[in-house]
Amino acid sequence: AVKQTRADELLAIADTIKILNDDDVLELFKKALPSPSLLQVQSSQRLLASEALKLVRAAGKHPSLDLIALALQGKKMNFDKVIKMIDAMEDTLKKEQVDDDSKKAYCAKEFDETEDRFKELAHEKERLDQAHSNLDATIKDTKEKIAALE
């Protein structure tokens, strides 16, 4: 998750640089700011956090905002244990998925073999039913011949 976030941030920075280097943006800057100077304002991290905390509190009560407010107040929050648990859960799920895939393949193979065996037994039953019918006919014939001889 951290790697994905970092990758997303790098992608966003690259897109921003691409946009700022565009000729149309340069023309827009020239029109908006005729003089080539920009005023740089420095603000402390603590001041920005304080202002953000005011905005979060003004937004009202919401569980996710409470977490942000805690972070802005400078409360120490350590998610290392939670991140490790999530990583362990992810590893477990990957292993279980591999097991499930192998079990699925085994079951599919067993179904195919059972289906083939069922077909073989159905053919054998048909053959035996035919042999039984032939024997019944032979017995009937033989009884008729014996009755004719008596």
Q: Which residue has the tokens 């032979």?
A: 138
CA distance 138 to 134: 6
- Residues 6 or more apart whose Cβ sits within 8 Å of residue 13: none
pTM for this model (two decimals): 0.36
Contact 56, 69 (CB under 8 A): yes
* Residue 5 CB partners (closer than 8 Å, separation 6+): none
> Using CA atoms, how far apart are residues 86 and 92, in angstroms rounded to an integer?
10
Could you give the CA distance from residue 8 to residue 16 in angstroms, rounded to a whole number? 12
CB 32 within 8 A of CB 48: no
Token output for 58: 């003004």
Backbone angles phi, psi at 5, to 5 degrees: -60, -45
Quick: pLDDT tens for 69-94: 776 676 565 667 767 777 888 999 99
In a structure prediction context, what are the per-residue pLDDT tens digits for the chain, which is 150 residues long?
778 888 888 888 888 877 777 777 767 767 766 665 555 556 666 677 777 777 777 777 766 667 667 766 765 656 677 677 778 889 999 999 999 999 999 999 999 999 999 999 999 999 999 999 999 999 999 999 999 987
Q: What is the DSSP letter of 22?
A: S
